[in-house]
Amino acid sequence: PPPLLQVRDLRKHYLRPQRWLRPAMPAIKAVDGVSFSVARGETLALVGESGCGKTTTAKAVLRLIEPDAGSVQLDGQELLTLSAREMRLRRRQMQIIFQDPYASLDPRLKAGAIVAEPLRNFGSGTAPEQRERVQWLLARVGLRPEAVKKFPHEFSGGQRQRLGIARALALNPRLIVCDEPVSALDVSVQAQVVNLLMDLQAEFGIAYLFVAHDLAVVRHISHRVAVMYLGQIVEIADRDPLFTAPLHPYTEILLASAPVPNPHLRTRRLLLQGDPPSPANPPAGCRFHTRCPIAQPICATTVPALGTRPATTQATRGEHQVACHFR
């Protein structure tokens, strides 16, 4: 069977607002040829520095941002050619949890109405059935029954994120896009919310496309990890080989500069030099060559393809793919 989600050669370029002043101004290549798949019940994390295109990729999968080109298939069905109405129906199965639940919850609605909204929109069940489902959902995410009558501002950050999860869960989705779902929360609360997401996955077989920059969280929750740099995936592998034996120099540096020290990596302190180049004018050849510690002349001229490498550890799920001439 096809994977739950199959994304091929996804592209999203933004024209910049000042473009009318200088028409030659190049578009920002936020997502530039991204391909990956997510299996049923699996968590694929998208990681990388801010501005690498991970959030744009996640939103383009749901068509919350309309991609320019590529293919997004859910269960073998192409989503990018669906009409707005058809896409709305497909969204039943694809939900999103945002970084800042406060911004995504209507402040004028009580929690009960917020969680009931998707049920009402899709005419799922009678009014009493909907009320019962809302109570069940709130309890399932760890909120008390009284929460039904509270407004978003009356909850803590962690509780608001639980509310966002209850709403995302309402229609039994098969895929939830999690856009930095815990980065705005205190560390102790982060662990609770991540564990809740993992419990829900085990119980309902939900797949997550998990966008995050916190590698400790990613290491805890994901089955596979895709590393993005300047709008492209540079490495994609199962979690353990990626964290213990990364192949791409960018992944190595990302892991080595993370606050949680990784005992498996060589102790030499690696730090990224300088800011990432502009996605409007990405470097020719390998996009990482301007910051890569092992770059060679070929890197500045020839684009390395994302290719499969032999498994370095006992990989069980996916292949280990990397885009580098020398790895």
**Which residues would be at the binding site for ligand SF4 (CB under 6 A)?**
248-249, 286, 288-289, 292, 294-295, 299, 304, 324-326
Residue placing its CB nearer to ligand SF4 in the complex, 224 or 248 = 248
Question: Shortest gap between Cβ of 53 and ligand SF4 (angstroms)?
Answer: 17
Question: Shortest gap between Cβ of 295 and ligand SF4 (angstroms)?
Answer: 4
Question: Shortest gap between Cβ of 180 and ligand SF4 (angstroms)?
Answer: 26
Residue placing its CB nearer to ligand SF4 in the complex, 17 or 297 = 297
Question: Shortest gap between Cβ of 319 and ligand SF4 (angstroms)?
Answer: 18
Residue placing its CB nearer to ligand SF4 in the complex, 200 or 322 = 322
Question: Shortest gap between Cβ of 259 and ligand SF4 (angstroms)?
Answer: 24
Question: Shortest gap between Cβ of 323 and ligand SF4 (angstroms)?
Answer: 7
Residue placing its CB nearer to ligand SF4 in the complex, 28 or 234 = 234
Residue placing its CB nearer to ligand SF4 in the complex, 140 or 325 = 325
SS3 per residue for the chain: CCCCEEEEEEEEEECCHHHHCCCCCCCEEEEEEEEEEECCCCEEEEECCCCCCHHHHHHHHCCCCCCCEEEEEECCEECCCCCHHHHHHHHHHEEEECCCHHHHCCCCCCHHHHHHHHHHHCCCCCHHHHHHHHHHHHHHCCCCHHHHHCCHHHCCHHHHHHHHHHHHHCCCCCEEEEECCCCCCCHHHHHHHHHHHHHHHHHHCCEEEEECCCHHHHHHHCCEEEEEECCEEEEEEEHHHHHHCCCCHHHHHHHHCCCCCCCCCCCCCCCCCCCCCCCCCCCCCCCCCCCCCCCCHHHHCCCCCCEEECCCCCCCCCCEEECCCCC
Residue placing its CB nearer to ligand SF4 in the complex, 97 or 255 = 255
